[in-house]
Structure 1
Amino acid sequence: MDTQYDVIIVGAGPAGLTAGIYASRANMKVLLLEQESPGGKLVKTYKIENYTGVESSSGVDLAMSFMNHGLAFGAKIDFGSVIKVENKGKLKKVTLDNGKEFTGKAVIVASGTKERPLDVEMAERFTGRGISYCAVCDGAFYRDKVVTVIGGGNSALEEALFITSLVEKVNIVIRRDEFRAEPKIVEEVLNHEKINVIYKHLPESLIIEDDNIVGLNIKHVDTGEITPLMCSGIFPYIGADPATSFLDKAILNERGYIVVKADMSTDIEGIFGAGDVIDKELRQVVTATGDGAIAANSAVKYIKNNF
C-alpha cells in the first residue's frame, strides 16, 4: 500500500467520509484511517430521522451508504489507531499503533469522540460481559431480560427504544429530574410500556453474583439513599470525550476538542478538523458532513497554494 498521500483523513465517520468525497473529486490522493468500523457512531445508532433527504434509516444502512460513496472516487482506507501526527518538513507524518507510517500534505482530523466509561468499581472488568456501550451491537445478548440504560440524552433514549424490541424491561436512570433529549423522543419513551424511568439517581456500584452482573446499586442525588436495581445488562450513555490524544495540545481547548476557524483550519498549518471532534455547539450527522466538506475544500486550497 502507498504511504504518501495528498490528504490523510483520520476517522471514517460522516465527517471523514464526506471529506474523502470532496478531496477525491478535487483529484487529490486521499487516505482514510479508521480504528473501528467505517461510519463512526452511525454503526452504533438504531435509527436516524433527522438527516436531510433521508426520512428514516437505520444507522448501519446510512453508514454503508456513506462508506460506499466516500470511497467511490478513489480514496483508500486503512485501519489502525493513530498515535501521532507530526511535522516532517512541509509534510505531515501520521503514525499508527500497528507501526504503519504515512505522509501527507494535509491532515483532516475527524476522529470523533469516545464514549465515557461507567465510573463504578469493576466497570472495565465487566465491559463486554454485562456492560455495553452499544445497544445495537449487543442488545440481542439480553433477549427477554431486564436491562438498565444510564443517561438522559438523545443517544440514551434512542438506544433504550431500540432495545425494547428484544428485552423484557428497560430501566432508564438519569441524574436530573428531566430529560435532555428531543421532545419527540422523550414522549415516545414516556409512553412506552416496557420502559421505567428513574429520575435523580446515579450509578453507585455493580451487584455481582457468581462473577456475573445481576444488578446495579443506584444513589439518589439529593438524599444519598442507595437502591438496588436488578438487571442483567447495563448500557451507559453518559457523554463522550474527544479522541485527540495524538494531537498537539496547542490546537485543543481545555476539554480536548480541536479549535478550528470557519474554514476548519487550525493554528497548525496543514491540519484541519471536522465533525464531533471539533469545538462546536451541535454534534449531529448533518453538521459533521458539512464540516467534512469545508475541511476538504480548505485542505485542497492549502495544498494548491503551498505545494
Structure 2
Amino acid sequence: MTQHYDTIVIGAGPGGMTAAIYTARANMKTLMIDRGIYGGQMNNTAEIENYPGYVSIQGPELAEKMYASTTALGVEYAFGNVEHVMAQDALTWRVITDMDEYTADSVILATGSQYKKLGVPGEEQYAGRGVSYCAVCDGAFFKGEHVVVVGGGDSAIEEASYLAGIADRVTVIHRRDTLRAQKILQDRAFANDKINFIWDSEVQSIIGDDTKTTAVQIKNRKTGEVSELATSGVFIYVGLLPVSEPFASLNVTDEEGWVVTNDQMETTQPGVFALGDIRQKTLRQITTAVGDAAIAGQNAYAYSENVKMAKLTAK
C-alpha cells in the first residue's frame, strides 16, 4: 500500500531540512526525499562563514547538525530520484520516484540548483580527469600543481582561495574585467599571491592526453587572441541551473526552469510549495533557503489542516 504523509519535502539541502523541521514540529507526518546524501551543496563547501551562530563551520559539519535535528523530530528519510509529481485527486498529491511511490496532502519542492557546464570541447571527455565542479571534493588531487578556476562569482572566488591552500598556483579566468563576488571574497583573493587573474577571456576548449587534462585554450573577448595555458585541473563555476525537470508538468516554472512562487512560498498549484535555490530569486544563500523554508513549512501546515477539514466535511 502506498504510504501517505501530511507533507513530502523533495530535497534534503539546508532548505529542505529546515522545512522538514518546521512541519515535524507541527506534528505533521513528514517524509524527506533526496537522490543523494543530505546537505546538498553544503557538502561541497569547505568553509561557511556567513551562517549565524558560527564564525566558521565546515559545510558537511553543518549538514550533519541539520540532519540530526530532523531525525530527532521523527522526520522520515528516503533515497530516490523523483521522476514525477502529479495530482491524484483534488486534495492529494502523488510523488513517484525511481524506487517507490508516495502520497501527501502537500509537497514542498527543495531540490535546489546544479552547476552549469561550459559546453566546450573536452569538458565531458575530461570530467573526473582534471575537470571538476567541486574544489572540496577534488582539490586534494592537485597538491603542488597549477589549476584553473573559471568564473567570477562567489563560488568561483571562494573555491579559488580554497585551492590556493593546496595547489602551487591558481589562475582565475573570467569573461569580464571585474568580479561579481562579494568584496570580502575579492579582497581575500587579490591579497593571495598564489592567485592570479586572466580577464576578459573565455575557455574555448579543454585539452588533454589519454588520461588527464593538460591545458585550456583561451580566447580574449576584446582582442580575439587565442592562447593555451598549461594546467592540471579546471574547476568550473559559471552559474546555476534549477533542478526542476520532474516538476515541468506542474506548470509552476518560468521559461528557464526556475519555480515561481509568491512571498508565502506558494506556487500556482494549491498544496505545492517551493523554497531555496530552485526558486526564481536573486540571492541564493543557505540563510535565504532557511528563511524560505520556515515560511514554506508553516504554510504547508496550514494547508494540510485545511485539507483534513475538507476530507472530514466530505465524509
Using structure 2 for the length normalisation, give the TM-score. 0.94
Out of 29-38 and 2-11, give the one that drifted further. Answer: 2-11
Question: Using a 3 Å threshold, how does the CA distance of structure 1 residues 271 and 249 change in structure 2: closer, same or farther?
Answer: closer
The equivalent of 2:108 in structure 1 is 108
5 Å matches for 1:39-118? 39-89=39-89, 90-96=91-97, 98-118=98-118
Cα distance between partner residues in 2 of 1:216 and 1:71: 46
Cα distance between partner residues in 1 of 2:287 and 2:85: 27
| TM superposition shift of 1:78 | 1.1
Paired letter, 1:260: T
- Kindly indicate whether residue 208 of structure 2 is the aligned counterpart of residue 208 of structure 1: yes
The equivalent of 1:136 in structure 2 is 136
Question: Using a 3 Å threshold, how does the CA distance of structure 1 residues 225 and 249 change in structure 2: closer, same or farther?
Answer: farther
- Is residue 126–residue 208 contact of structure 2 (8 Å, CA) maintained in 1? no
Alpha-carbon displacement from aligned partner over 1:195-247 (angstroms, at most 9, x marks no partner): 11111110101122234210101111112211111111110000010000111
Cα distance between partner residues in 2 of 1:33 and 1:84: 13
The equivalent of 1:174 in structure 2 is 174
| TM superposition shift of 1:137 | 0.7
Using structure 1 for the length normalisation, give the TM-score. 0.97
The equivalent of 2:306 in structure 1 is 305
- Kindly indicate whether residue 5 of structure 2 is the aligned counterpart of residue 5 of structure 1: yes
Out of 172-181 and 137-146, give the one that drifted further. Answer: 137-146
- Is residue 20–residue 71 contact of structure 1 (8 Å, CA) maintained in 2? no
Q: Unaligned 5+ residue runs, structure 1?
A: none
Paired letter, 2:295: I
- Is residue 265–residue 275 contact of structure 2 (8 Å, CA) maintained in 1? yes
Cα distance between partner residues in 1 of 2:198 and 2:39: 32
Cα distance between partner residues in 2 of 1:10 and 1:252: 16
The equivalent of 2:23 in structure 1 is 23
- Is residue 87–residue 94 contact of structure 2 (8 Å, CA) maintained in 1? yes
Cα distance between partner residues in 2 of 1:159 and 1:34: 25
The equivalent of 1:265 in structure 2 is 266
| TM superposition shift of 1:2 | 7.2
The equivalent of 2:286 in structure 1 is 285
Question: Using a 3 Å threshold, how does the CA distance of structure 1 residues 141 and 2 change in structure 2: closer, same or farther?
Answer: farther
Aligned length: 306
- Kindly indicate whether residue 179 of structure 2 is the aligned counterpart of residue 165 of structure 1: no
Paired letter, 2:301: V
Cα distance between partner residues in 2 of 1:293 and 1:210: 50
Alpha-carbon displacement from aligned partner over 1:236-270 (angstroms, at most 9, x marks no partner): 00001000011135211122111111211111011
Paired letter, 2:144: D
1:24 is paired with a residue of what secondary structure? Answer: helix
1:111 is paired with a residue of what secondary structure? Answer: coil
The equivalent of 1:184 in structure 2 is 184
Percent of aligned pairs with the same amino acid: 39
| TM superposition shift of 1:6 | 1.1
Paired letter, 2:287: V
| TM superposition shift of 1:35 | 1.3
- Is residue 18–residue 289 contact of structure 1 (8 Å, CA) maintained in 2? yes
User: RMSD of the alignment, in Å?
Assistant: 1.3
Out of 205-214 and 181-190, give the one that drifted further. Answer: 205-214
Cα distance between partner residues in 1 of 2:5 and 2:14: 21
